[in-house]
């Protein structure tokens, strides 16, 4: 995985602080000739492209684009009068992102109306380009679009003063605001060979097509062509602005070359450290992360919570399944005092993947990479089908992405969920602490725990792949409906330990399953 992705998003973040725009006479975007367009045409086009040699998206004037660093990129603002549908024609204006050091490839944009597509032709006049800016030297015939934003409705306030609710920029990355109005983790169109010893491949969305949204509350529909050395793809995004954002995705993939590890519906996030693990003293803030766990709802109905790690070496974990009901990277800790940071980590969205139709057998894979700072995305989660992706084959997938505060089934689900994982020295209070023993304390919250009769204590059920578990107990968290499950682990060596824990009462399961990969300190 490309650790500089986080820096790319930082550059994009600089653009999200919108200035006050000056109003002027409305100019017009330059458009190419009209050509027929529909979903069937795009599928056929992607299939035809897969049968041709791969060619990378254009990189005009790379020596100049390299000079458009973080600060220089922040000066390239699309003038609002050049927004697609900024004045009329659709509910949601589309604004374009300029190329720069972190987004060096040129992407083609198209306006679609009445079944006809017209390419939006680039012009330097669309952007605020200072006289001494490197972008002034770009060849006049080149295109310098790198991505786009979907802005808030122009019918409900001045969209120029508000941040966008969807962003597509860089390779096949995209992201959206959640229910708390904040961006955080990213999704991708596809993930290839993440965590493998060889290089990861990053296909690109090379063209986009935008259709107008006529009525308030209707979805914004965007089509995309994906191209890479190993595959092509036709994508349709049906994106609905709700309290958060819901995206329905359909993709048709056409495989050019055999792919060792094909990641469907991938999510990418950052986890530096939390309330547990050896990185807790690396910074003055209590926690730093965009997501704190992987949530799974298996095809068999089991609910799993896997707290994230910042490991000392790359780790890939697989959760075998068939027809999963969902998975996602979540930010469950919403307490500002747990972050003490002005960048609103406590408001970062959860993104939940809801498969549509049968996905067959495969595994949700979690890739965790080591990082020493918050500027790097080091977490990836995706679905990997059991059947290998062979050259000449084609695949179809449909799913929804829910960008929200919590997983979309919360708080309806009957099982209590994990809200905190903590670690410390093992042993009992008031007695000598034995060396090499670690204590785990897992906090659960949910209606199933609130109904426990007075005086009853749930049983803590723990299993470990190696080592010895002792001192298991459950305790109420007074004045709350929460309960704490705790246990000690005695283990030697530095190989990871797979731990599982849940709570039950009289044979009835009360909580989701906590699955954690513990890395003993060395």
For residue 12, what is the domain's CATH number?
Answer: 2.70.98.10
Name the pLDDT band for 411 (thresholds 50, 70, 90). low
Q: Which candidate, 418, 455, 456, places its Cα nearest to that of 440?
A: 418
Report the number of distinct structural domains present in the chain. 2
Average pLDDT over residues 437-446: 95
Report d(CA 346, CA 401) in Å as an integer: 20
pTM: 0.91
Does residue 179 register a pLDDT over 70? yes
Return the percentage of the chain with pLDDT > 70, whole number.
94
Residue 410 forms part of a structural domain: no
Report d(CA 277, CA 310) in Å as an integer: 8
Q: Strand, coil or helix: what is 468? A: strand
- Beta-ladder partners of 496: none
Does residue 167 register a pLDDT over 50? yes
Residue 135 DSSP class = G
Report d(CA 176, CA 185) in Å as an integer: 8
Average pLDDT over residues 453-471: 95
Residue 502 forms part of a structural domain: yes
Least confident of 24-33, 143-152, 219-228: 24-33
CB atoms near residue 457 (< 10 Å): 13
CA 4 and chain centroid, separation: 15
Average pLDDT over residues 399-418: 88
Say what the pLDDT of residue 480 is: 87
Residue 409 forms part of a structural domain: no
Pairing verdict, β 186-188 and 262-269 = antiparallel
DSSP result, 113-132: ETTEEEEEE--GGGB---TT
Residues 236 and 263 in one domain: yes
Q: What is the mean pLDDT of the chain?
A: 92
User: Maximum distance among all alpha carbons in the chain?
Assistant: 81
Cis status, amide bond into 411, omega within 30 of 0: yes
Does residue 518 register a pLDDT over 60? yes
Average pLDDT over residues 88-111: 95
CB atoms near residue 157 (< 10 Å): 10
Pairing verdict, β 379-385 and 394-404 = unpaired
Residues 396 and 478 in one domain: no
Beta carbons within 8 Å of 48's beta carbon, 6+ residues apart: none
Residues 373 and 451 in one domain: no
φ/ψ of 72, rounded to 5, equals -65, -35
Beta carbons within 8 Å of 278's beta carbon, 6+ residues apart: 519, 521
Q: Provide the CATH number for the domain around residue 472.
A: 2.60.40.10
Take residue 94 and report the two structure tokens written for it. Answer: 């589309």
Take residue 29 and report the two structure tokens written for it. Answer: 């975007």
Residue 411 forms part of a structural domain: no
Least confident of 126-135, 145-154, 250-259, 289-298: 126-135
| Domain boundary, last residue among 347, 379, 404 | 404
Residues 201 and 81 in one domain: yes
| Domain boundary, last residue among 377, 404, 431 | 404
| Domain boundary, last residue among 404, 430, 457 | 404
Q: Which carries the bigger pLDDT value, residue 9 or residue 93?
A: 93
Residues 254 and 313 in one domain: yes
Residue 198 forms part of a structural domain: yes
Does residue 447 register a pLDDT over 90? no
Name the pLDDT band for 8 (thresholds 50, 70, 90). low
Query: H or E stretch including 450?
Result: helix 447-450
Alpha carbons within 13 A on the beta-carbon side of 188: 27
Residues 428 and 281 in one domain: no
Residues 344 and 485 in one domain: no
Pairing verdict, β 293-297 and 262-269 = unpaired
Residues 220 and 338 in one domain: yes
Residues 378 and 513 in one domain: no
Residue 189 forms part of a structural domain: yes
Query: H or E stretch including 9?
Result: helix 5-15
Q: Supply the range of the domain harboring residue 488.
A: 417-518
Residue 482 forms part of a structural domain: yes
Residues 171 and 274 in one domain: yes
Report d(CA 503, CA 208) in Å as an integer: 49
Distance of CA 451 to CAs 69, 335, 509, Å?
56, 25, 13
Residue 79 forms part of a structural domain: yes
Average pLDDT over residues 386-397: 96
DSSP result, 396-446: EEEEEEEEESS-TTTTTSSSBEEEEEEEEE-S-TTSPPPTTEEEEEEEEES
């Amino acid at each position: 995985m490309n650790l500089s992705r986080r820096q790319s998003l930082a550059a994009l973040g600089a653009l999200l602080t919108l200035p006050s725009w000056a109003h002027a006479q409305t100019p017009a975007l330059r458009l190419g000739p009209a050509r027929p367009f529909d979903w069937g045409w795009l599928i056929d086009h992607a299939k035809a492209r897969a049968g041709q040699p791969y060619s990378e998206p254009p990189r005009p004037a790379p020596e100049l684009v390299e000079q458009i660093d973080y600060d220089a990129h922040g000066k390239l603002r699309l003038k609002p009068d050049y927004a697609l549908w900024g004045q009329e024609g659709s509910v949601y204006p589309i604004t374009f992102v300029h190329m720069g050091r972190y987004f060096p490839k040129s992407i083609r944009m198209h306006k679609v109306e009445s079944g006809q597509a017209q390419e939006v032709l680039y012009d330097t006049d669309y952007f605020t380009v200072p006289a001494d800016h490197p972008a002034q030297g770009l060849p006049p015939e080149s295109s310098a679009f790198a991505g786009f934003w979907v802005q808030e409705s122009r019918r409900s306030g001045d969209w120029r003063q508000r941040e966008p609710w969807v962003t597509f920029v860089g390779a096949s990355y995209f992201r959206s605001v959640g229910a708390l109005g904040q961006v955080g983790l990213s999704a991708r169109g596809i993930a290839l060979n993440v965590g493998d010893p060889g290089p990861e491949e990053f296909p690109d969305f090379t063209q986009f097509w935008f259709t107008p949204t006529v009525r308030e509350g209707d979805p914004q529909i965007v089509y995309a062509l994906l191209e890479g050395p190993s595959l092509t793809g036709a994508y349709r995004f049906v994106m609905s602005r709700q309290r958060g954002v819901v995206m329905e995705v359909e993709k048709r993939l056409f495989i050019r070359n055999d792919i060792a590890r094909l990641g469907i519906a991938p999510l990418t996030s950052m986890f530096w450290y939390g309330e547990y693990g050896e990185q807790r003293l690396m910074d003055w803030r209590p926690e730093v992360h965009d997501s704190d766990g992987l949530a799974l709802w298996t095809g068999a109905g089991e609910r799993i919570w896997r707290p994230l790690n910042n490991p000392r070496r790359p780790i890939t974990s697989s959760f075998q399944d068939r027809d999963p009901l969902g998975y996602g990277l979540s930010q469950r800790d919403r307490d500002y005092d747990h972050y003490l940071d002005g960048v609103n980590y406590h408001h970062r969205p959860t993104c939940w993947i809801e498969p549509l139709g049968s996905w067959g057998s495969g595994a949700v894979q979690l890739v965790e990479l080591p990082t020493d700072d918050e500027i790097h995305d080091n977490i990836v989660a995706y679905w990997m089908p059991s059947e290998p992706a062979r050259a000449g084959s084609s695949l179809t997938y449909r799913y929804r992405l829910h960008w929200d505060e919590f997983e979309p089934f919360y708080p309806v689900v009957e099982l209590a969920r994990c809200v905190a994982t903590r670690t410390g020295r093992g042993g009992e209070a008031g007695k000598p602490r034995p060396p090499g023993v670690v204590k785990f304390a897992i906090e659960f919250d949910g209606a199933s725990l609130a109904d426990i009769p007075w005086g009853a204590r749930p049983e803590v059920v723990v299993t470990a792949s190696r080592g010895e578990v002792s001192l298991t107990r459950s305790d109420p968290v007074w004045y709350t409906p929460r309960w704490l499950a705790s246990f000690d682990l005695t283990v030697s060596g530095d190989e990871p330990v797979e731990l599982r824990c849940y709570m039950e009462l009289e044979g009835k399961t009360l909580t989701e399953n906590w699955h954690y990969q513990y890395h003993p300190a060395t």
